[in-house]
Amino acid sequence: MPFSDFIDYLTLEKKYAANTVVAYKNDLECFLAFAEKEFSYTTIKDVNYAVIRSWIVSLVDAGISNRSVNRKVSSLRTYYKFLLKTKQIDINPLLKHRALKTSKKLQVPFSEKEVTQVLDNLEGANDFEGVRNKLMVELFYSTGMRRTELVHLKLKNISQSEKTLKVLGKRNKERIIPLLPSVCLTLSKYLEYREQLEHIVDPEYLFLSAKGVKIYETLVYRIINSYFSMASEKVKKSPHILRHSFATHLLNEGADLNAVKELLGHSSLAATQVYTHNSIATLKEVYKNSHPRNSN
């Protein structure tokens, strides 16, 4: 494999998630195929910026968004940094490259009313899948965890006595998240149904299908999308929007930004601040309605 050393570096040293590593590998193979076909290069090491620029133009012409192009170029940049670090090249051809301009995507969270409606609809769940799905929604909304984190949750990571769960986030970074009493009740009910499954293939994982197999990310997306389609007309109805709602609603209620950062598992405040636009809007409304000098 042409990039095996780099893949090992991302996996073992940088501890990137498997999906991220696959994305890097695909981006590099895509660029190498272009450089080989259009310019007869057999290795990326010898490529100059003119070739990279031609690749970028070809991606844009193919209708790929600027955001996706920037991500692909970022993979290439990381690879060149690796080559510099391992003294395989002397100059990074992307040193002076400037990312393509992108418009900021506004992630519109679910309203508290929409979340409440979904939870109310799930209140009467009385079978394995119904209770499991209710627990999914409650965990996403009460912990802000990522979809991949929920899929990989293991039974050993849950402490019912301490009402906490341990999440393995990006770069294998662990964090402890408290559980609400209501979530603990749903969890206990789900575990009872789980024990009644006829056959369990993946016993270490919390969330299973009715066949006892560990759930997968696409299924989680479909479940969340299905329930929120009945309560919301928003364009995006995904686990990530539920994570976004968790952060936004906490901030709206005055939660400390640093505390939300820790709950989300972000490495920096900058990543958490994207969730503050709605809370700032709420703050302005409170200010307008409450300040004594406001005569409106």
Angle (deg, nearest 10), helices 49-61 and 66-85:
160
Degrees, nearest 5: CA angle 69-170-252:
90
Contacts of 121 (CB under 8 A, 6+ apart): 227, 230, 231
Q: What is the pLDDT of residue 48?
A: 93
Length of the chain: 296
Percent of the chain with pLDDT over 70: 90
pLDDT digits (tens, 9 = 90+) for 65-110: 998 999 999 999 999 999 999 999 999 999 989 999 887 666 788 9
The catalytic site residues sit at: 146, 170, 240, 243, 266, 275
Domains of the chain by start residue, with CATH: 4-85 (no CATH), 112-240 (1.10.443.10)
Check pLDDT > 90 for residue 244: no
The candidate with the shortest Cα–Cα distance to 242, out of 149, 148, 115, is: 115
CA dihedral of residues 195, 198, 200, 205 (deg, nearest 10): -30
Q: What is the pLDDT of residue 289?
A: 59
**DSSP type of residue 111:** P
More confident of the two residues 264 and 154: 154
Q: What is the pLDDT of residue 36?
A: 94
What phi and psi values does residue 158 have, to the nearest 5 degrees?
-110, 130
pLDDT digits (tens, 9 = 90+) for 138-187: 999 999 999 999 999 999 999 999 999 999 888 778 889 999 999 999 99
- Report the chain's mean pLDDT, rounded to a whole number: 88
